[in-house]
Amino acid sequence: MKHMNRLLMVAVLLLIALVALSAQPVSEKQEIKVLVFGMFEVGENKGDFAGEFQHFYEAYFDGAASYELNSMPLTLYVNEEGIAGAIAGMGKAQASATLTTILTDPRFDFSKTYIVISGCSGMSPEHGTLGDVVIADELVDFELGHAWKESDNPKDSSSFFLRSSGYDRPGYIKLNKGLADWAFELTKDTPLFDDKAAQAYRAKYGAAEAQEKPSVRMGVSVTGDSYWHGKASSAHADAVTQAYGAGTYMVTQMEDNAFGVAAMNAGKLDRLIVVRDVVNYDQPYPTQTVLESLDASSGAFSIGMKNGFAVASKIINTLVENWDAYGSSTPKN
């Protein structure tokens, strides 16, 4: 009898404990509306010479909650409006690992998140100018395929082709065209900064370049882990984009295809927005060598950081301010 009473008492105590637990509020995941990435910072996150993340940190994350996610170190900043941001790291491996790490963190709800990439890039002087900002609609991997040195191949033949269809998924990524068109239309008239030093550097390339002013454009972003430079490498980028059936490449950088693959794997590709600001030409001017070009200052870095932020922040703010509509469905032009 005493044994039965003891079991009954234990059962009652367990029931009381379960009722108490069920009465406690369930901790909800924080909804992330926009996740923005820069790839590097020059110094501190605020108050000094700005790299890719500083303008975003000062606008959205100064004083916001921060979370250390791995030993990179990867710090994720999250503000009360549901805007999150991080420095992703440079190159394809780091970019994909960073995005995957963040999207799989169980503390946050990424089900409706827009991913905004904002970073610097190079551009052919035939395609645009220093200080431009490009909204990408296609991503092409510069290195994924079969390639060879031009000097090892018959004259006037291609230096790249696709041997396997397995390259298509990571090598050529079509972004959500409706979303890209919407982002372009939203930002195409954004006032952009220019600089006398950038104007002087443009003039070294030719009369047409000297007359150009920064503007918002749209087109293909080409990703390469190697910081390639030179007219022949630019021609190779054209060959790669042609092999995939993509449009003319507008900018070159080191991470976008990796972000695209990670977003695709997470089912987030339709909410990926790539914004690239142009800080250098991808080839030297006449009389300049490739090494001299790599070491030269184009005068466009600071205006690129400002212009990229001006465009990307307009996209971010518009998404958040209209979340009732854009949370449930992506905007389209």
The model's pLDDT over 100-133, given as tens digits with 9 standing for 90+, comes to 999 999 999 999 999 999 999 999 999 999 999 9
Q: How far apart are CA 89 and CA 76, in angstroms?
A: 13
Q: How far apart are CA 132 and CA 279, in angstroms?
A: 8
**Ramachandran region of residue 305, left (φ > 0), alpha (ψ -120 to 50) or beta?**
alpha
Q: How far apart are CA 38 and CA 316, in angstroms?
A: 14
Is-contact 39 87, C-beta < 8 A? yes
Task: Name residue 273's beta-bridge partners.
Answer: 116
Q: How far apart are CA 124 and CA 288, in angstroms?
A: 15
Best CA proximity match to 219, nearest among 182, 260, 199, 247: 247
Average pLDDT, the chain: 89
Considering the entire predicted model, what is its pTM? 0.88
- Is the Cα torsion angle 283, 289, 292, 297 positive or negative in sign? negative
Is-contact 76 84, C-beta < 8 A? yes
In the chain, which residues have pLDDT < 70?
Answer: 1-27, 147-150, 156-165
> What was the pLDDT predicted at 23?
42
> What was the pLDDT predicted at 62?
97
pLDDT tens digits for range 29-81: 899 999 999 999 999 889 999 999 999 999 999 999 999 998 778 999 999 99
The token duo for 307 is: 């212009």
> What was the pLDDT predicted at 169?
84
The token duo for 256 is: 């976008």
CATH of domain 27-326: 3.40.50.1580
> What was the pLDDT predicted at 12?
45
